């Protein structure tokens, strides 16, 4: 097959970049894989380092005031689509979806769209895109069920869960993990380390955890420290943390090129999202490293775990429930390593890249056969 992946993000791209890079790296060994991404983006840069992957500098300008830039971008993409005659074009966001549709040649390739977030799908634009989209991939069953109530219900629709590199995200040897723990717990073995590599966007719900900790008795909460990797929070967010008297207990290491040392130090991870999220790469990475996770019951997050076995679920934005869950973690600290081992086994069964790639490739093959 001849495949083109597109991504509109001009910067990091987050989960979109992780998703496309993983597919491109694996499928380039047996298919011809191209990636169209804005110059300077993380995907553009990382895809160029993948053996056998062809990369085109392709902007995806968005907004009515950028019509001249959109016209130039469309012409560039249309020329590339005509010249390459792809079997499948796989788009990953509204901006690249729109531009690809406007640039399609008369003999068009099959068009696949992955729904990566929980934002609502509605309006004339979504209806028009759905009419010309052949296949939709939902990254969790929650997303698939939601799409069945939209114009995309008439498309071929499959759930393919995101995969992570479970060999890269693997449990660390005990002595190395212990060294990382000492780095972050201040030498206090009684401190419970909760953490996340899911980022500091407000919808990730980390401030709900801060507010939940403030509900706990001082004697309880002083035994908890939170490590939160990502872009440093805004001044007003730091001020709120200070108002709760938790500045010494909420630690922001910044953007980490490799979050694994931080994850290795944790007793448990958390992703407390209340918007945008679907399945969470970060959740699966932490579980692959042998960490049980505390999750909200938002969107597809509950599909990551078996509650009480390899993690816990709390209602969205329920600070009292979060506080109770943290107190419970402290009370059952001796059980956390065995729950972490269960999380790792879960990852080995369901989260690996080979399964993710195999299921995605099967979607392409079924689609081409049907056409």
Domain presence at residue 168: no
Residues 213 and 340 in one domain: yes
The pLDDT of residue 60 is above 90: yes
The pLDDT of residue 276 is above 90: yes
Arithmetic mean of pLDDT over the chain: 97
Question: Please, is 59 exposed, middle or buried when counting C-beta atoms within 10 Å of its C-beta (0-12, 13-18, 19+)?
Answer: buried
Residues 253 and 136 in one domain: no
Q: Are 260 and 180 in contact, with CB atoms under 8 Å apart?
A: no
Domain presence at residue 51: yes
Residues 178 and 149 in one domain: no
Task: Output the six-digit token pair for 117.
Answer: 């977030």
Residues 81 and 195 in one domain: no
**What's the pLDDT at 71?**
96
Q: What percent of the chain has pLDDT over 70?
A: 100
The pLDDT of residue 41 is above 90: yes
CATH of the domain at 145: 3.40.50.2000
Distance CA 122, CA 78 (A): 27
Residues 157 and 261 in one domain: no
Residues 67 and 125 in one domain: yes
Residues 143 and 214 in one domain: no
Tokens 């001082």 belong to 218
Q: Are 126 and 151 in contact, with CB atoms under 8 Å apart?
A: yes
Question: Total domain count for the chain?
Answer: 2
Question: What is the extent of the structural domain holding 195?
Answer: 174-350
pTM across the whole model = 0.96
Residues 86 and 13 in one domain: yes
Residues 360 and 330 in one domain: no
Q: What is the separation of C-alpha 106 from the centre of its chain, rounded to a whole number of angstroms?
A: 35
Q: Are 34 and 86 in contact, with CB atoms under 8 Å apart?
A: yes
* Tens of pLDDT, residues 293-346: 999 999 999 999 999 999 999 999 999 999 999 999 999 999 999 999 999 999
Task: Output the six-digit token pair for 95.
Answer: 């901006």
* Tens of pLDDT, residues 120-171: 999 999 999 999 999 999 999 999 999 999 999 999 999 999 999 999 999 9
């Amino acid at each position: 097959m001849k495949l083109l992946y597109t991504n509109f993000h001009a910067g990091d791209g987050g989960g979109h970049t992780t998703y496309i890079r993983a597919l491109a790296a694996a499928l380039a060994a047996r298919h011809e894989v191209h990636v169209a991404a804005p110059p300077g983006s993380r995907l553009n840069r990382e895809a160029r380092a993948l053996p056998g992957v062809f990369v085109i500098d392709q902007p995806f300008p968005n907004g009515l005031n950028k019509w001249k830039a959109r016209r130039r971008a469309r012409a560039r993409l249309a020329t590339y689509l005509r010249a390459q005659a792809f079997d499948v074009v796989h788009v990953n966001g509204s901006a690249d979806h729109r531009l690809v549709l406007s640039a399609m040649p008369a003999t068009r390739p099959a068009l696949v769209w992955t729904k990566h977030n929980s934002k609502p799908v509605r309006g004339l634009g979504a209806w028009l895109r759905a009419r010309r989209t052949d296949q939709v991939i939902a990254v969790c069953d929650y997303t698939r069920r939601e799409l069945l109530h939209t114009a995309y219900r008439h498309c071929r629709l499959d759930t393919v869960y995101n995969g992570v590199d479970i060999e890269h995200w693997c449990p660390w040897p005990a002595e190395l993990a212990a060294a990382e723990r000492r780095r972050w717990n201040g030498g206090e073995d009684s401190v419970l380390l909760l953490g996340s590599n899911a980022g500091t966007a407000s919808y990730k719900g980390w401030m709900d955890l801060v507010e939940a900790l403030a509900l706990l008795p001082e004697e309880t909460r002083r035994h908890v420290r939170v490590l939160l990797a990502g872009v440093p929070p805004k001044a007003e967010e730091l001020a709120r943390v200070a108002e709760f008297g938790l500045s010494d207990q909420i630690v922001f290491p910044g953007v980490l090129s490799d979050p694994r040392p931080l994850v290795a130090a944790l007793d448990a991870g958390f992703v407390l999202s209340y918007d945008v999220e679907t399945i969470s790469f970060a959740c699966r990475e932490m579980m692959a490293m042998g960490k049980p996770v505390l999750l909200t019951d938002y969107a597809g997050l509950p599909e990551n775990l078996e509650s009480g076995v390899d993690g816990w679920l709390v209602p969205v934005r329920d600070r009292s429930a979060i506080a109770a869950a943290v107190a419970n973690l402290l009370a059952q600290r001796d059980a956390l390593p065995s729950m972490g081992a269960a999380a790792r086994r879960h990852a080995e069964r369901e989260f690996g890249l080979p399964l993710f790639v195999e299921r995605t490739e099967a979607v392409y093959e079924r689609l081409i056969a049907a056409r």
